[in-house]
Amino acid sequence: MDRLTFATVWLGGCSGCHMSFLDLDEWLVDLADMVEVVYSPIVDRKEYPENVAVCLIEGAVANEDNLEQVKLIRARTRLLVSFGDCAVTGNVTAMRNPLRTAEPVLQRAYLDTANLRPRIPQARGIVPPLLDQVLPVHEVVPVDSFLPGCPPPADRIRTLLQDVIAGKGSLLSGENIRFG
Amino acid sequence: MPVRTLTIDGKPVSAVEGQTVLDAAQDAGITIPTLCHLDGVSDVGACRLCLVEVTGVSRLLPACVTKVTEGMEVRTESERLKRYRRMILELLFAERNHVCAVCVSNGRCELQNLAVAQGMDHVRFAYRFPPYEVDITHRMFGMDHNRCVLCSRCVRVCWFIEGAATKNVAGRGAGARIITDLSQPWGKSETCTSCGKCVQACPTGAKFHKGSTVAEMERDRSRLEFIVTAREKKQWIV
C-alpha cells in the first residue's frame, strides 16, 4: 500500500502544536510506516510539494508570507486540517486584532521597550510584513477538518490521524473539539 | 395547584400550572441546554439556547420563559434546534474575544462546555474582535468584558438575591455591556457590598476573583444555592 503523503506547516503560532505532535512519542514510529512526511518544520524541504494528501496547519494567518503560503498549501492539499486553536480561532495570535492595525504592536515591541537602537525591522523579501488583522485559516481558504486545543493533546492528534488513515472521516466530536 | 399534562420528546409529563417548560423538563430528567438560566433567579430568555419546538407554533420558543399548557407537545431535539443552538454559540464566540487558552475559566466554562456539547468545532462567522477593557478597580473582583456573553446572571443575582442593584445592563444589541452603578469603575461603587454573588453566578471568565490566572477560576454555586433554598423553601442547608 502506498503511504499517504503527509505535511505539517507552522504559520502564526508558538509551535506548541508541533511540540504536542512530538508528544505522540513511540506512535510516531508507527505513523512513519503509514505516511510519508513530505514537508514539515522538522523536515529539510524548502518548498511545499504538489499532491499532498493530508496537511496539519498550525497557527493563524498573521503576515503576508502566511497568506501566500496558505493559498499555495490549499491548492496542493487534499485534506487540510486546522491544527490547534490559533489555526481554528486566531487564539493568542489574534489577540492584537482589537488594536485594529499591526502598528501599535510593532511600536510596543520594537520601539517603546527597546533600549538599544530602537527601530522597526523592515527587509522586503526577508521579514514578512504583518497583516493588520490576524485571521483563522478557514477565513482565508476552505478547511476540511478542525483539530482544536491549545495545544491539541497528543491523543487528540492521534485520534484524528488514525481516522483519516483508516478512511473513517476527518471530523472530531465530543471532548476532542474543546477549545483551550 | 392545577396540574397540566404535556409531552416532552414524546414522554408524558405532568407539571404544575405556571411552571416553565424548562422546569417541567428538568423535573422529568430531560436536559435542555441553557446559558442565561440560573436556578433561583428570574428567567429572562436572553441567550436563546433553550429554544424548543412546540407543535402548532411555527417559531421556536425559549423553554425558560414559556409556561406549560394542557396538551402541549414539546420537542427538545431536532436537526433544526441543533442547527440553531450551534449558530447561537458561534455568534456568541464571534461577538467578543473568547480566548479560551488564556482565560481564567478555561476548562470550567459553561460557554466552552456548551460548544463541546453542541459540536462546535469552529466558528463560521467572522470574529468581530471588539476592543473591550478589563475592570480591576475592585479590591477583590475583576470584570473582563471580553468574555461577557450578556446573560445578565450577575445583574439578576445582584438585584434579586443580594438586593444591592449595583450591576446593570447599558446599551443595546451587541453594544450592550454590564455596568456598575452609573457606569463607574467597580472599585468606586458606593452600592456594591462585595458579596461576590455576581462572581459565583458568571458562566464564563467575565467575572473573576483577582489573582486567579489561566484555568484557575473555580466557582462555588453552593453559596447561591444556600440563599435560594433558604428563601424559597425556608430551609437552611447545613
For residues B162 and B220, membership in a common domain is answered with yes
At residue B15, what are phi and psi to the nearest 5 degrees? -140, 160
**The domain spanning residue A89 has which CATH number?**
3.40.50.700
Rounded Cα distance between A98 and A80, Å, is: 28
Residue B124 falls within a domain, yes or no? Answer: yes
pLDDT over 90, % of chain A: 94
ipTM above 0.90, yes or no: yes
Measure in Å the smallest separation between the Cα of A116 and chain B Cα atoms.
Answer: 31
For residues B56 and B122, membership in a common domain is answered with no
Rounded Cα distance between A62 and A133, Å, is: 7
Contact criterion met (CB < 8 Å) for A177 and B126 = no
Residue B143 falls within a domain, yes or no? Answer: yes
Residue A143 falls within a domain, yes or no? Answer: yes
Rounded Cα distance between A176 and A174, Å, is: 5
Quick count: other Cβ atoms within 10 Å of Cβ A74? 17
- pLDDT the model gives residue B229: 86
pLDDT, tens digit, 9 for 90 and up, residues B73-120: 999 999 999 999 999 999 999 999 999 999 999 999 999 999 999 999
Residues composing chain B = 238
The closest of B57, B77, B81 to B67, measured between CA atoms, is: B57
Residue B63 falls within a domain, yes or no? Answer: yes
- pLDDT the model gives residue A33: 95
Number of compact structural domains in chain A:
1
Which among B97, B101, B123 has CB closest to A98? B97
**The domain spanning residue B20 has which CATH number?**
3.10.20.740
Region B227-236: mean pLDDT is 84
pLDDT, tens digit, 9 for 90 and up, residues B188-219: 999 999 999 999 999 999 999 999 889 899 88
Contact criterion met (CB < 8 Å) for A171 and B112 = no
B223 or A36, which is more confident: A36
The closest of A128, A145, A134, A1 to A77, measured between CA atoms, is: A145
Q: Which residues from chain B sit within 8 angstroms of residue A99, using beta carbons?
A: 131
Stretch 106-135 of chain B: residues touching chain A, C-beta under 8 Å: 106-107, 112, 115-116, 119-124, 126-127, 129-132
Strand order in the sheet with B207-209: B134-135, B141-144, B207-209
Confidence grade of residue A9 (pLDDT, cut at 50, 70, 90): very high
| Amino acid symbol at B121 | D
- C-alpha cell recorded at residue A52: 499532498
Domain boundary among B50, B77, B104: B77
Name residue B14's beta-bridge partners: B5
Domain boundary among B27, B60, B77: B77
Please report the number of interchain residue pairs, chain A to chain B, with beta-carbon separation below 8 angstroms. Answer: 72
Q: Note down the domain range covering B104.
A: 84-233
pLDDT, tens digit, 9 for 90 and up, residues A136-178: 999 999 999 999 999 999 999 999 999 999 999 999 999 999 9
Q: Mutating which of B92, B114, B129, B133 best tests the A interface, going by the most A Cβ atoms within 10 A?
A: B129
Residue B69 falls within a domain, yes or no? Answer: yes
Q: CA-nearest residue of chain A to B99?
A: A91
- pLDDT the model gives residue B133: 94
Region A3-15: mean pLDDT is 97
For residues B149 and B218, membership in a common domain is answered with yes
For residues B225 and B108, membership in a common domain is answered with yes
At residue B20, what are phi and psi to the nearest 5 degrees? -90, 160
- pLDDT the model gives residue A1: 57
- pLDDT the model gives residue B1: 79
- C-alpha cell recorded at residue A138: 478557514
The CA-CA-CA angle for residues B162, B168, B173, to 5°, reads: 145
At residue B163, what are phi and psi to the nearest 5 degrees? 75, 20
Rounded Cα distance between B2 and A61, Å, is: 60
pLDDT over 90, % of chain B: 87
Q: Which residues from chain B sit within 8 angstroms of residue A100, using beta carbons?
A: 131
Which among A88, A97, A174 has CB closest to B129? A97
pLDDT, tens digit, 9 for 90 and up, residues A67-95: 999 999 999 999 999 999 999 999 999 99
Q: Answer whether A61's CB lies under 8 Å from A11's CB.
A: yes
**The domain spanning residue B224 has which CATH number?**
3.30.70.20
Q: Note down the domain range covering A11.
A: 4-97+133-177
Number of compact structural domains in chain B:
2
Measure in Å the smallest separation between the Cα of B34 and chain A Cα atoms.
Answer: 18
Residue B238 falls within a domain, yes or no? Answer: no
For residues B192 and B106, membership in a common domain is answered with yes
Contact criterion met (CB < 8 Å) for A92 and B126 = no
Q: Answer whether B175's CB lies under 8 Å from B128's CB.
A: no
Quick count: other Cβ atoms within 10 Å of Cβ A56? 26
